[in-house]
Amino acid sequence: MSRDLTILTDVSLITCIVQRGKADKVVQTAQEAGASGATIYYGYGSGVRERLGVLGLAIDVEKEIITAMVADDQADRIFERMYFAAELDVPGNGVIYMTRLEKAATFIPKDILDRVHAKGSHRP
Amino acid sequence: MIPAIAYDEVGNELPHRPAALEIEATDVYRLLRPYLSVRFFEQFRAVMPLVVYLALFQLFILRETIAEAGTITFGLVGVIVGLMLFMEGLKVGLMPFGEAIGITLPAKAALAVVIVVVFLLGVGVTFAEPAIGALQTAGSLVSVERAPYLYTLLNHFTMPLVLAVGVGVGFAAVLGTFRFLYGMSLKPFIFFTLVPLLVLTAWMALHPELAKVLGLAFDCGAVTTGPVTVPLVLSLGIGIAHAAGKGSDSLSGFGIVTLASLFPILAVMGLALYVANTVTPAEIIMAHSTAGAGAPTPFYDQTPWAEIIGGLRAIVPLVLFLLFVMVVLLRVRMRHPGIIAFGILLCVAGMIVFNLGLSYGLSKLGSQSGGLVPSAFTRIDAVPSSPLYMFVLGLGIAVGFAWVLGFGATLAEPALNALGITVENLTNGSFRKSTLLYAVSIGVGFGIAAGVAKIIFDIPIAWLLIPGYLVAGALTVVSSEEYVNIAWDSAGVTTGPVTVPLVLAMGLGFGNALGAVEGFGILSMASIGPIIAVLGTGLYIRWKIARRYARDQPRAGI
């Protein structure tokens, strides 16, 4: 049986860095807004924390880095939702950025593939 | 938005140092709110279940309102806030010291110096242990005529008493470090400590005055292993083992807690013997009656001054010692000295607030409920309608109350949860976390129930301790090394800064209401209970695995 690869285009990658323990809420928001999934890494970082003096103690140096691939036409909305879910308007809470992806591929449910083919898209 | 890059006169780039950030009040609030609420509720969850249990038990089973509810509530808030500040200060201010010393000391100093530092650190951390303050509070509840040695130890020998405990912890830290270095088994350490311990216990039990000190001596062992001692001593020991090239094997974190809860018992017994050789009971009672008529207590012995001085005395010597090691011995400059100073300030402030809360909240509540529980089965003056229940039923309620208190308090202890995860990894999942949690909690439950029964029936503490430790010793002989380490250490982690004062005060109040000589010993029973429970569980698991293996073996042969 031959196996197919379907290339997805028009996708963006949203990366959001938050303090340790805060990723789950952000990921949930992203999924509710249309992201299909997210990956979390651990790391640690500095920046605003060092410039806040004693207040900086309230910021955890350990971070969670969330990456989520999203469709271009939903990207801005998800980006905005994640920004507010992570409360990035508070100093030290983290940063979010989005990059264009050239292409991506993953498992795609069969009914979706069939629907796309019925519309007349070409197979790669 | 882009930082301006500066150059020196030759044209080299100067490193850019960003200016401090000015933020608005709303941002400060948004920044601090999650930070503070997480830490507040962490302590809140440790304190509240016990308090609610005590209060409900008193209201519904004993049908007594809580006296001074306002003061107690205020004190409990003090305990929660104090612990919160203290733990954060410990993390920010003291732990970086411990880690830095643990890493650099073994590399820069000779082994003899390292050992001396470890020993002194063991003494210093004992003074900084929040639960130690509970001993002082407990001292005021002992009657001088009936237990003169106990009274004088707690009231006139407070400093030597804590020092004796500290010396015990210091020796434990040194031996624990040797164990790290040479990868020795814990078993011989346990046997060599148990033999003199039990012999001395038996000998002191024969002496009518000295026997009353035994409960205190064994309780001191439970008090020592708290949130300051364990991480600081461990970080140093592990650092030394690493520097010696002995990578941390899976068991290396264990053992120090065990030794740190056994050695202080010996040290306190030694101090009691010394006191018994220098003064007679009659002299103590004489001195007390003359002093009682004398001058009023000086201002520094009254609340809140006593607590403030106590807080400073607990933290400052430890900090000075750590600073001395860092600056003079190691010549290391600390990074972020301002942050460290702030952390130390938090520690001191937290200790003071905690001590205040201890006097006004936990100790008061504990001694109040402890004093009322006997009304379930016997006549006491405080409750006119007592006994509330038939003797046997009431007795059952009192012992059951103690059991549930011990079980619940232990199950909620965060340190035990952490130990459970370690143990599950260590035994490749055959000893599950929940199994350990329940084994230890049930052990503590029975231990506290036995301690309460000891006060009710006036059983000499030696009768419970000697067989208990003999059983534990026998189980240790037949158990494997992992289980020995886990079991003996689990006894130490159960007694945190909330449980210790509450149980101590409850026991003393309980003892006073019943007219018992002293109410110590409950904590020591709570330490021996989990040892036996966990060792027993370990043997059961081993038997189960062996049986499964034996059953599967013939089938595999076919």
Q: Mean pLDDT of successive 10-residue segments in chain B (558 residues)? A: 82 83 85 88 83 84 79 89 88 80 79 86 83 71 75 81 89 84 82 89 84 85 75 71 61 74 89 84 69 52 72 83 84 78 88 85 83 77 68 83 86 76 78 86 90 84 88 89 83 74 82 76 86 90 86 64
- Predicted pLDDT of residue B289: 65
Q: A95 CB near a chain B CB, below 8 Å?
A: no
Pick from B20, B32, B338: CB nearest A58: B32
Quick one: fold of A11-102?
Alpha-Beta Plaits (3.30.70)
| B87: in domain | yes
Q: Which residues of A touch B20 (CB under 8 A)?
A: 51-53
Q: Is the dihedral of CA B300, B305, B308, B311 positive or negative?
A: positive
pLDDT at site B137 = 67
Contacts of B339 in chain A (CB under 8 A): 54, 56-57
B338 touches chain A (CB under 8 A): yes
Contacts of A91 in chain B (CB under 8 A): 21, 23, 27, 31
Q: What local confidence, expressed as pLDDT, does residue B53 receive?
A: 85
State residue B252's pLDDT score. Answer: 59
DSSP A41-106: EEEE--SHHHHSGGGGGGS-SEEEEEEEEEEHHHHHHHHHHHHHHTTTTSTTS-EEEEEEES-B--
Q: CA-to-CA distance for A72 and A9, rounded, in angstroms?
A: 9
Burial of residue B56 (CB within 10 Å: 0-12, 13-18, 19+) is exposed
| Residue of chain A minimizing CA distance to B340 | A54
Among the partner-chain residues A51, A53, A92, the one whose CB lies closest to the CB of B31 is A92
The reply to whether residue B30 touches residue A55, judged by beta carbons under 8 angstroms, is no
Confidence of residue A14 (pLDDT cuts 50, 70, 90): very high
Q: Does residue A71 contact residue A13 with C-beta atoms inside 8 Å? A: no
Q: Is some CB atom of chain A closer than 8 A to the CB atom of B25?
A: no
| Contact check, Cβ <8 Å, A91/B20 | no
Domain, as residue range, for B423: 52-288+305-552
- Rounded CA-CA distance B371/B509 in Å is 4
CA–CA separation, A23 and A64 (whole Å): 6
**DSSP line for B216-265:** HHHHHHHHHSSTTHHHHHHHHHHHHHHHTT----TTTTSSHHHHHHHHHH
Q: Chain A contact for B30, CB < 8 A? A: yes
- The predicted model scores a pTM of 0.79
Q: How far apart are the CA of A80 and the nearest CA of chain B, in angstroms? A: 19
3-state DSSP call for residue B121? Answer: helix
Q: What is the ipTM of this complex?
A: 0.74
Average model confidence (pLDDT) across chain A: 89
Query: Is there a contact between B339 and A55 if contact means CB atoms under 8 Å apart?
Result: no
Domain ranges of chain A: 11-102
Residue B365 forms part of a structural domain: yes
In this complex, is the C-beta atom of B27 within 8 Å of any C-beta atom belonging to chain A? Answer: yes
Residues of chain B numbered 59-98 and touching chain A (CB < 8 Å): 88, 92
**8 Å CB contact of B342 and A57:** yes
Angle at B416 between CA B103 and CA B59, to 5 degrees: 135
How big is chain A by its Cα radius of gyration, in Å? 18
Residue B221 lies in a domain: yes
Of A48, A53, A58, the CB nearest to B35: A58
Cβ neighbours of A93 in B, within 8 Å? 31
* B342 interfaces chain A, CB cutoff of 8 Å: yes
Residue of A nearest to B338 (CA): A54
The SS3 call for residue A116 is helix
Candidates A24, A25, A46, A55: best to mutate against B (most CBs of B within 10 A) is A55
Q: Residue B16 falls within a domain, yes or no?
A: no
Contact assessment for residue B420 and residue B534, using Cβ atoms and an 8 Å cutoff: no
Q: Can you tell me the distance from the alpha carbon of B330 to that of B15, in angstroms, rounded to the nearest whole number?
A: 29
Q: What tens digit of pLDDT does each residue of B301-342 get?
A: 666 677 788 778 778 888 888 888 888 887 877 777 888 888
**Which chain A positions have a beta carbon within 8 Å of B3's beta carbon?**
none
Q: What are phi and psi of B13, to 5 degrees?
A: -70, 135
Q: Which residues of chain B are within 8 Å of residue A56 when distances are taken between CB atoms?
A: 339
**Is A51 close to B27, i.e. CB distance below 8 A?**
no
Q: What are phi and psi of B12, to 5 degrees?
A: -80, 145
- Give the closest-approach CA distance of B488 to chain A in angstroms: 33
How far away is chain A from the Cα of B424, in angstroms, using its nearest Cα? 23
Q: Which amino acid is at B190?
A: I
Asked if B338's CB is within 8 angstroms of A54's CB, the reply is yes
**Contact call for A59 and B31, based on CB within 8 A:** yes
CA-nearest residue to B35 within chain A is A58
Instruction: Give dist(CA B127, CA B351) in Å, integer.
Output: 11
A89 has a pLDDT exceeding 80: yes
Q: What is the pLDDT of residue B300?
A: 56
Nearest CA distance, A95 vs chain B (angstrom): 15
Provide the domain count of chain B: 1
Contact between B387 and B401 under an 8 Å Cβ cutoff? The reply is no
When computed from its CA atoms, the radius of gyration of chain B, rounded to whole angstroms, is 25
Q: Which residue has the tokens 């005529």?
A: B145
